């Protein structure tokens, strides 16, 4: 038996189900990148909103690279379970917000139709840092952008204009500094190149608020699926596991209607930057440090790395001594308490968060996770020893090559073997590489980073 509308009645009594009429809800959100994080975060918040009475915020998920999620969720009518784990406690609930999943390479027309539908008001994104396809000069890589979301969104917006409809809110939910400004700039560049007459309409009719998202969503382990299936008495091909903690901060700037997410814990603010900076430099920065140093030490999961006294001390130093002093906190934002909370979350063995998952795409993540912090410390003539140790571990990770998953992985692996940290820095800062846009402006840090070649 498989999870679906016809089998909900057979679920155990301790599994929550969506209390609203899903068939009566229209699709109001088109989401690009419907992976586990979106299903544990934005879809969860939207499900909460509809369960409390909000209407017509069903989600059409769009997969850009793989049909796997469509194969998992469409036979289940979009239903899946979300299991929150904290220590020994677990809470499982069926999420009903997702109504369909489209595979863009085969269903581009259907994606455009959804974007152009009068009931659609939001296009949201969790496509990872590399999904924005930035070019070496910091702009949009127009060639790579053809296989991303830009042409689909552009066609959907053009269809809306032709039909006399208003614009959309484009809501980026990826770990990019000023992600709203980044997406707005890149989207305008695509339109200028492909549909120049759309640029002014886009600026006038659409909004692109910045956001900060925070919830640890580990890659689902086979043994977790097996245990869940035993508990449910049926198979759920789209199950997601996460922690109890969740945070979503959104710049309050929308082009039209939106769910009442704020009633379910979402923070709507004028300026996302303090929250975004703290997340990137403290949580994400410490995560990357633990990933590279932890893998090198023979650990597999985050909680194992945090249990290692040397690595725990490094993570604390990065968060408290290096990142924290560089962050202008918002009123009421207690960064010292945030650091303590993060260490508690990292140490929870129930999450089983794999270090190799965090270590993916290092060349795309390191600038905003480490280099922004290091740049501030360098200007203040302060040390960044923890970041330097993490950078050295990343270079050794590249040289080892056994679990490198990076868009520039093969090239960086070869350079790390022959040129070490100096070779990596020269290549990342050099012209003619897709990393230049991400690493530009950090030339003055080269000497600091190269000093990380020493053994810790």
273-453 sits in which CATH class?
mainly alpha
Q: Which residues lie across from 2 on neighbouring strands?
A: 235
| Residue 456 confidence (pLDDT) above 60 | no
Residue 444 confidence (pLDDT): 62
- Does 8-269 match 273-453 in CATH topology? no
Range 67-80 average pLDDT: 98
| Residue 406 confidence (pLDDT) above 50 | yes
Range 378-389 average pLDDT: 90
pTM of the model: 0.90
| Residue 290 confidence (pLDDT) above 90 | yes
The predicted-structure confidence for 200-233, as pLDDT tens digits, reads as follows 999 999 999 999 999 999 988 888 999 999 999 9
Residue 447 confidence (pLDDT): 60
| Burial class, 309, CB count within 10 angstroms (exposed 0-12 / middle 13-18 / buried 19+) | exposed
Q: Which residue has the higher pLDDT, 419 or 115?
A: 115
Render the burial of 360-387: b for 16+ CB within 10 Å, e for the rest. bbbbbbbbbbbbbbbbbbbeeeeebbbb
Residue 425 confidence (pLDDT): 81
Q: Of 3.40.50.300, 3.40.50.720, 3.50.30.10, 3.40.630.30, which CATH number belongs to 8-269?
A: 3.40.50.720
β-strand 211-214 against 247-251: which pairing, if any? antiparallel
Residue 455 confidence (pLDDT): 41
Give the 3-state DSSP-derived string for the chain, with helices as H, strands as E and coil as C.
Answer: CECCCCCHHHCCCCCECCCCCHHHCCEEEEEECCCHHHHHCHHHHHHHHHHCCCCCCEEEEEECCCCHHHHHHHHHCCCEEEEEEECCEEEEEEECCEEEEEEHHHHHHHHHHHHHCCCCCEEEECCCHHHHCECCCCCECHHHHCCCCHHHHHHHHHHHHHCCCCCCEEEECCCCCCHHHHHHHHHHHHHHHHCHHHHHHHHHHCECCCEEEECCCCCCCHHHHHHHHHHHCCECCCCEEECCCCEEEEECCCCCCCCCHHHHCCEEECCCHHHHHHHHHHHHHHHHHHHHHHHHCCCCEHHHHHHCHHHHHHHHHHHHHHHHHHCCCCCCCCHHHHHHHHHHHHCCCCCCCEHHHHCCCHHHHHHHHHHHHHHHHHHCCCCCHHHHHHHHHHHHHHHHCCCCCCCCHHHHHHHHHHHHHHHHHHHHHCCCCCCHHHHCCCHHHHHHHHHHHCCC
Residue 138 confidence (pLDDT): 77
Cα angle vertex 146, ends 145, 149, to 5°? Answer: 70
Q: Please state the domain extents for the chain.
A: 8-269, 273-453
| Residue 454 confidence (pLDDT) above 60 | no
The predicted-structure confidence for 230-284, as pLDDT tens digits, reads as follows 999 999 999 999 999 999 999 999 999 999 999 999 999 999 999 999 999 999 9
The predicted-structure confidence for 423-439, as pLDDT tens digits, reads as follows 888 887 765 566 766 67
What number of other Cβ atoms are within 10 A of residue 141's Cβ? 18
| Residue 443 confidence (pLDDT) above 80 | no
Q: How confident is the model at residue 449 (pLDDT cuts 50, 70, 90)?
A: low
Range 90-116 average pLDDT: 98
Q: How confident is the model at residue 442 (pLDDT cuts 50, 70, 90)?
A: confident
Range 430-453 average pLDDT: 63
| Residue 396 confidence (pLDDT) above 90 | yes
Residue 261 confidence (pLDDT): 98
The predicted-structure confidence for 4-32, as pLDDT tens digits, reads as follows 999 999 999 999 999 999 999 999 999 99
Residue 220 confidence (pLDDT): 87
Contact 18, 95 (CB under 8 A): yes
Q: Mean pLDDT in the chain?
A: 93
The predicted-structure confidence for 353-367, as pLDDT tens digits, reads as follows 999 999 999 999 998
């Amino acid at each position: 038996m498989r999870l679906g509308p016809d089998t909900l009645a057979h679920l155990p009594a301790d599994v929550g189900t969506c209390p609203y009429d899903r068939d009566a809800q229209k699709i109001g959100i088109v989401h690009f990148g419907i992976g586990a994080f979106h299903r544990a975060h934005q879809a969860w918040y939207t499900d909460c909103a509809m369960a409390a009475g909000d209407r017509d915020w069903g989600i059409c998920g769009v997969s850009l690279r793989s049909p796997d999620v469509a194969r998992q969720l469409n036979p289940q009518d979009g239903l899946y379970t979300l299991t929150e784990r904290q220590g020994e406690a677990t809470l499982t609930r069926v999420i009903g917000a997702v109504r369909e999943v489209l595979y863009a390479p085969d269903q581009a027309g259907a994606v455009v139709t959804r974007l152009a539908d009068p009931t659609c008001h939001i296009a949201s994104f969790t496509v990872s840092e590399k999904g924005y396809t930035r070019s070496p000069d910091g702009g949009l890589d127009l060639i790579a952008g053809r296989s991303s979301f830009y042409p689909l969104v552009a066609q959907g917006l053009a269809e809306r204009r032709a039909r006399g409809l208003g614009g959309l809110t484009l809501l980026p939910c990826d770990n990019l500094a000023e992600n709203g400004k980044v997406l707005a700039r890149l989207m305008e560049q695509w339109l200028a190149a492909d549909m120049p007459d759309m640029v002014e309409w886009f600026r006038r009719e659409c909004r692109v608020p910045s956001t900060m998202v925070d919830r640890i969503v580990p890659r689902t382990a086979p043994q977790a699926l097996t245990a869940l299936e035993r508990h449910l008495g049926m198979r759920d091909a789209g199950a997601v596991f996460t922690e109890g903690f969740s945070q979503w901060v959104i710049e309050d700037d929308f082009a039209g209607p939106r769910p009442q997410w704020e009633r379910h814990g979402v923070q709507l603010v004028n300026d996302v930057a303090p929250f975004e900076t703290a997340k990137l430099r403290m949580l994400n920065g410490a995560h990357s440090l633990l990933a590279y140093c932890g893998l090198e030490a023979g650990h597999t999961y985050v909680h194992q790395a945090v249990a290692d006294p040397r690595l725990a001390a490094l993570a604390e130093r990065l968060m408290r001594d290096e990142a924290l002093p560089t962050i202008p906190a918002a009123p009421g934002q207690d960064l010292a308490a945030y650091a303590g909370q993060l260490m508690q979350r990292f140490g929870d063995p129930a999450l089983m968060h794999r270090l190799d998952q965090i270590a993916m795409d290092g060349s795309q993540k390191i600038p905003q996770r480490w280099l922004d912090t290091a740049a501030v410390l360098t200007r203040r003539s302060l040390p960044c020893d923890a970041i330097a140790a993490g950078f050295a571990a990343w270079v050794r990770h590249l040289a080892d090559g056994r679990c490198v998953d990076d868009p520039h992985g093969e090239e960086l692996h070869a350079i790390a073997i022959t040129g070490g940290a100096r070779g990596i820095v020269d290549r990342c800062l050099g012209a003619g590489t897709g990393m230049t846009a991400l690493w530009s402006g950090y030339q003055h840090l080269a000497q600091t980073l190269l000093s990380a070649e020493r053994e810790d």
